[in-house]
């Protein structure tokens, strides 16, 4: 318990942590320090040495993942406790081990080379009349640039969304192959997209409108049956409907499949605000005295979102 800035009391094993990163020229030490559980929790110590070992093992996995996120796929993480390799610490413990003796923890990182993007390809399973750009560079994957998993994931997500924006609502990744070549320190990315069927908007359904006219909601959404599907239309519809004072929230549900007529139904699930509201204010001034104000309003006077 920290009281008035006092240092926390260690109830168990106190320990210190030293981080060593071989030839750190890219700030990996800061990444390790921000990720490490051992560093984060060293002020409060560990209940016992067995708990410290468990924490260090979890830390080893976290640090390996953090290094991979920086494109260091060949990095190694070695942790020692009291100059003993982590995997040998428990075997060295005995009944006579003094749990009150402070422990020293050493985290040694060999980052290895920074992997770069190598050959990459985006393909589709079937030909289509319309297709978005299929060059990996368009989505941020550039040969020779640092290969970070977050960049790859973002590029694939963007690719799928571009296919949806091209009118294919059920486009998905049919196959992905991401390979790190340790001999060349390169990452190869091959992604294949299954476009699915193209679609236009079909029936527009409204659920949850009781006082507000369903036809008004459908009309205000500006979704026209027969127009090609595009997720940006749905985002704009949500924003338009949220501007209606009588609507509290909007959820858009796309149909589960493209119908025989090539259309996909769209459902707007809305929740309404209470139509009536009132309130008041009071003010006291040495010049004007007391002032009382009251107001009343209606958000849906005739059932189509009229305000009074």
pLDDT at 9: 47
pLDDT given at position 244 = 84
DSSP string, the chain: ---TTPPPPP-SB-EEEEEEETT--SSHHHHHHHH-HHHHTTTT-BSSHHHHHHHHHHHHHHHHHHHHHTT-TT-EEEEEETTEEHHHHHHH--TT--TTS-EEEEEEEE--PPPEEEEEEEEESS--SS-----GGGGT--TTSB--HHHHHHHHHHHHHHHHHTT-TT-EEEEEEEEEETTTTEEEEEEEEE-----EEEEEEEES-SSS-HHHHHHHHT--TTSBP-HHHHHHHHHHHHTSTTEEEEEEEE-SS--TTSEEEEEEEEEEPPSEEEEEEEEEETTTEEEEEEEEEES-SSSSS---
With 0.85 as the threshold, say if the pTM is over it.
Answer: no
pLDDT value for 10: 54
- Both structure tokens of 272: 């309404």
pLDDT number for residue 301: 76
pLDDT in tens, the chain (308 residues): 444 554 544 567 899 999 999 887 778 999 999 999 999 999 999 998 889 999 999 999 999 999 999 999 999 999 999 999 999 988 877 666 666 789 999 999 999 999 999 999 999 999 999 999 999 999 999 999 999 999 999 999 999 999 999 999 999 999 999 999 999 999 999 999 999 999 999 999 999 888 888 888 899 899 999 999 999 999 999 999 988 888 889 999 999 999 999 999 999 999 888 878 788 999 998 888 899 999 888 877 777 777 88
Q: What is the pLDDT of residue 179?
A: 95
Closest CA to 182 of 74, 37, 264: 74
């Amino acid at each position: 318990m920290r009281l008035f800035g006092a240092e926390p009391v260690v109830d168990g094993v106190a320990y210190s942590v030293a981080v060593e990163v071989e030839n750190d020229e890219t700030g990996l030490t800061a990444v390790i320090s921000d990720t490490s559980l051992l560093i984060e929790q060293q002020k409060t110590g560990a209940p016992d040495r067995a708990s410290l070992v468990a924490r260090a093992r979890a830390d080893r996995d976290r640090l390996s993942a953090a290094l991979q996120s920086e494109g260091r796929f060949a990095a190694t993480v070695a942790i020692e406790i009291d100059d003993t390799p982590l995997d040998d610490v428990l075997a060295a413990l005995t009944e006579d081990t003094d749990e009150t003796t402070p422990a020293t923890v050493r985290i040694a990182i060999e980052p290895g080379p920074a992997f770069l993007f190598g050959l990459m390809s985006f393909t589709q399973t079937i030909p289509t009349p319309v297709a978005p750009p299929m060059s990996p560079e368009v989505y941020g994957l550039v040969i020779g640039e640092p290969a970070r998993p977050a960049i790859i994931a973002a590029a694939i997500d963007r690719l799928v969304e571009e296919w949806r924006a091209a009118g294919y609502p059920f486009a998905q990744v049919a196959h992905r192959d991401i390979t790190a070549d340790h001999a060349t320190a390169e990452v190869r990315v091959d992604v294949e997209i299954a476009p699915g069927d193209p679609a236009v908007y079909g029936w527009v359904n409204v659920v949850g409108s009781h006082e507000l006219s369903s036809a008004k909601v459908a009309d205000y959404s500006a979704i026209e049956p027969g127009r090609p599907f595009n997720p940006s239309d749905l985002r704009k519809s949500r924003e338009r409907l949220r501007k209606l004072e009588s609507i509290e929230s909007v959820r858009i549900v796309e149909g589960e499949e493209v119908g025989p007529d090539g259309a996909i139904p769209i459902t707007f699930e809305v929740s309404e605000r209470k139509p009536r509201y009132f309130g008041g204010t009071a003010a006291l001034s040495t010049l004007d005295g007391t002032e009382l104000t009251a107001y009343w309003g209606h958000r849906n006077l005739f059932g189509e979102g009229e305000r009074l």
